[in-house]
Structure 1
Amino acid sequence: MTTRLRDVLPLAIAAWILAGPGALAFDEPPVLAGKDALGDWTTDAPGVRRKITLDDLATPYDTPSAQNGPKVVKQPEGAWPKAPEGFEVTKFATGLSEPRVIVTAPNGDLFVAESRAGRVRVLRDADGDGQPEVNETFATGLTRPFGIAFHPVGAEPEHVYVGNTDSVVRFPYKNGDLKATGEAETIVADIPSGNESVGGGGHWTRDLQFSPDGKTLFVSVGSRSNVTDDETEKRRAMILAFDPDGKNERVYAWGIRNPVGLAIDPATGTLWTSVNERDGLGDDLVPDYITHVKEGGFYGWPWYYLTGDHQDPRHEGKRPELKDKVITPDVLVQSHSASLDLAFYEGDAFPEGYRGDIFAAEHGSWNRARRTGYKVIRVPVEDGKATGVYEDFLVGFVTPEGNVWGRPVGVATAKDGSLMVTDDGSGTIWRVAYVGAK
């Protein structure tokens, strides 16, 4: 049986997509709200916009808690990621081992964490043809590396920092280095790790960002569990802050179950994060989220979710003194999407409306009956604020049968203004470039 677009998308959205550019009297599609904002991979399409609000939240246990991990398959013949009209998607590099975070160095080189292989790779597109002429291993012997950051902030860094799952290290670096010129120096030796033998958690990714003045190093540390509140969660489910030498540890924000990705808004200097929320409450709880981070802020986990009016039923009656302290995130993303890395678009090659917006990678669900995620979304940002709307930008990684051949993880603006997306399902870095509407 063939599924038609008009059968799975709300009528207004289907009409907008099918009509093509310029065919309707508005420049952007309507925003899907309420139940229409939810769905699965069959409702994804470039340009579809969604807004999930607190009024749309399901009741705990409305549906059973699914165990529906993806079957990752080889990229089928003819399958290719789909971006909005005017954008071209090509393979920048492939054959990588679990490529995760990707970061653009000040000189334009692309640094990629290959977590499974324990190394950081450098790729350079010297002639700007969309293909790397240089592909070198910068450092090996790392422990599930994820976050990468350069310091001092600016055009002439002296070190590249790497977030292992259990530590932060740094290597001497100057622009153009393709291999580390010195041994790893341990900056923070005892980050709670993802190496423990645990069930229902053990989040291992450690992203890194420096404040705009370079005086503060932010480190994301996810929870060890789904909703446990005992001593095993000490120094977890939070964003830690350090001096650049690793000293003076402090808690920047807490109650954040898994703040996988960190990013600094270049226009305001504000820290943002992309968060995996908890599982086990049903298909449509709890939404993942993308938000700016308030220093000292509490975001609810594990006792509350999204507001103080929503207490996790597994912690009924606990920590009432925190009820009024819960901060509601800026953008709610469909539950179980597994929102990972995020980046602000800092180039000038995309249309002007994209500049300063957020791109975020949704790795894809396992705790949902029908798959969601497996795409890159765009979050419009104006004057440092998000409206709560997000838009499908890069989709197409799920087969009609529901198998998965690609899983987006990292996003970065390349030197030429294209968007780079790592995909640890196919071991590929995708390049999304604007070539103009046809």
Structure 2
Amino acid sequence: MLISVGSASNVDDSDTHPTEFHRADVLEFTPDGKFEKIYAAGIRNCVGEAINPITGALWCSTNERDGLGDNLVPDYITSVPEDSFFGWPWWYMGGHQDPRHAGKHPELKDKVRTPDVILEPHFASLQMSFYPNINKRDADHAGNDFPVAFAGDAFAAEHGSWNRSKRTGYEVIRVPMKNGKATGEYEDFLTGFVTADGKVWGRPVGVTAANDGALIVTDDGSKTVWRVAYVGKK
């Protein structure tokens, strides 16, 4: 079992804060609950965990740190190789050091992995899910399948910013994949949760595919479960 444990802060490190021990990590356990190892480290909050059905790799949809302004630090979606390190709390996005930890752990700079898909800062990226391989689905479970081009792509719920001067997020995004690997970009998929005057009425949290091919999205802003079905082009 791979279990994500988020950090309890925006800046604290385990050097001086014992409460951060085994946090901001993905931990590996046996099915009976025995701790095996730190599978991956330096991930502030891997809120959404998913296994890529094509490659079998772990992926994380990650909330990054606040407190560095509107435009830092980007949230991200990424594959998470075993023993990888993503920088928290000293570094981010490769070799960029958090100024609040200036001078700390220079030996880790070159070990920081850059995420596969970089999102906007403060998107508040929550659950992610991979869309099924449509060509291999049981015909009895089909009905509202998305176009074949969506097979194997990821969808992620972006809960939305709360501390940014210009709102960002409040949507579900699609992350295109090719042979199980991200192409690097993302696109808006389900939007409209912010009105023209800037008021928020919906905030996506969870996303998954139903047996009939529709996408199910939970929203704790309007306390609604949305069903997004494909009915063909008009």
Contact 1:273-1:291 within 8 A present in 2 as well: yes
CA distance in 2, matches of 1:401, 1:243: 50
**Residue 227 (1) aligns with residue 11 (2):** yes
Aligned-partner residue type, residue 114 of structure 2: T
1:359 match: secondary structure: strand
1:334 match: secondary structure: strand
**RMSD in angstroms over aligned alpha carbons?**
0.9
CA distance in 2, matches of 1:245, 1:263: 21
Aligned length: 221
**Residue 386 (1) aligns with residue 173 (2):** no
Instruction: Compare CA radii of gyration and give the structure with the larger one.
Output: 1
**2:92 matched residue in structure 1:** 305
**Residue 244 (1) aligns with residue 36 (2):** no
1:134-283 to structure 2, matched below 5 A, reads: 217-229=1-13, 230-283=17-70
1:108-119 to structure 2, matched below 5 A, reads: none
**Residue 367 (1) aligns with residue 163 (2):** yes
**1:324 matched residue in structure 2:** 110
CA distance in 2, matches of 1:223, 1:408: 22
Contact 1:291-1:330 within 8 A present in 2 as well: yes
CA distance in 1, matches of 2:61, 2:232: 30
Aligned-partner residue type, residue 333 of structure 1: L
CA distance in 2, matches of 1:289, 1:248: 27
**Structure 2 unaligned residues grouped into runs of 5+:** 135-144
2:201 match: secondary structure: coil
CA distance in 1, matches of 2:87, 2:162: 23
CA distance in 2, matches of 1:257, 1:227: 9
Higher relative contact order (CA 8 A, sep 6+): 1
Contact 1:265-1:272 within 8 A present in 2 as well: yes
CA distance in 2, matches of 1:316, 1:260: 27
**Structure 1 unaligned residues grouped into runs of 5+:** 1-216
Aligned-partner residue type, residue 227 of structure 1: V
**Residue 285 (1) aligns with residue 72 (2):** yes
Contact 1:347-1:415 within 8 A present in 2 as well: no
1:393-404 to structure 2, matched below 5 A, reads: 393-404=189-200
Q: Percent identity?
A: 67
Aligned-partner residue type, residue 229 of structure 2: A
1:138-197 deviations in whole A, cap 9, x for unaligned?
A: xxxxxxxxxxxxxxxxxxxxxxxxxxxxxxxxxxxxxxxxxxxxxxxxxxxxxxxxxxxx
TM-score normalised according to structure 1 size: 0.50
